[in-house]
Amino acid sequence: MLALTHVSAGYGPITALDDVTFTAAQGQITAVLGANGAGKTTLLRTISGLHRPRAGTIEFDGTRIDRVSAERMPGLGLSQVPEGRGVITELTVEENLRLGGLGRGGRVAPSDLTRIYDLFGVLGDRSAAMASTLSGGERQMLVIGRALMARPTMLLLDEPSLGLAPRIVTQIFSLLRDLVRDEGLSVLLVEQNARSALSVADRGVVLNLGRVVADAPANELAADDQLRHAYLGF
Ligand SMILES: Nc1ncnc2c1ncn2[C@@H]1O[C@H](COP(=O)(O)OP(=O)(O)OP(=O)(O)O)[C@@H](O)[C@H]1O
Ligand SMILES: [Mg+2]
């Protein structure tokens, strides 16, 4: 459903993505793995229209999206959860969630909110609390909930596990798994935490210095000692 073909991107003289080709299938979790500076964030920003590729094509559901502006992506079913869990701390949990529903143009239905509160019970319990009072894990849930308010068919996540306790990471990843199973959501999960990401993903793409060095089922990547030691850090 998402297909990148010979995509290159960079910043001035720096090449951050070099001839990247892979697909992320519908109803699956595709993990994009790689060390610091591998190009993971550039990849997500290029897919979501925040960064213009220098070469190559990106297709989503059969439509070319590499010239589509970021504002139009939620309308096409692509919703990004950026790095760093940026919630608006001066707004309540519910107000933050409502912002995620605005991208679709219409009004936010009560059922959109109850759906998120069913998924993340803690957000329902704290719906009237200021977002500034949330823990790191709760903020990560809030930014995921906010992205889901746009009712995406594919969710793009940039390092959701960063800085969170292993127990919270497991909770968030198993929730993504449930969404894929129950709603047919597709997920592109960018992670440096390769061990956790591969435990939940169907497939994995490994980037090194902007190039794809492996693309295989997640269990095969996890079982490849040489690859793990060279690129995945576990
Ligand atoms: N705004 C920018 N200007 C110049 N170079 C940049 C910019 N953003 C990223 N880069 C460079 O592009 C390359 C890829 O960076 P990118 O942030 O995509 O990697 P990453 O895999 O997300 O890394 P991390 O794990 O640290 O988040 C790096 O060499 C980085 O220094
Ligand atoms: Mg990054």
Q: Domain 2-85+153-232 classified CATH 3.40.50.300?
A: yes
CA of 160 to the centre of ligand 2 (A): 11
What is the pTM assigned to this prediction? Answer: 0.96
Joined tokens for residue 203 = 């497939």
Ligand 1 site: residues with CB under 6 angstroms?
A: 11, 14, 16, 34, 36-42, 192
CA-to-CA separations, 77 to 48, 186, 187, 200, in angstroms, rounded: 11, 10, 12, 22
Beta pairing, strands 203-208 & 2-11: unpaired
Q: What is the pLDDT of residues 100-122, one digit of tens each?
A: 988 666 678 889 999 999 999 99
Residue 211: strand, helix, or coil: strand
- 171 pLDDT more than 90: yes
Mutate-to-test residue for ligand 1 from 7, 40, 157, highest number of ligand atoms within 8 A of CB: 40
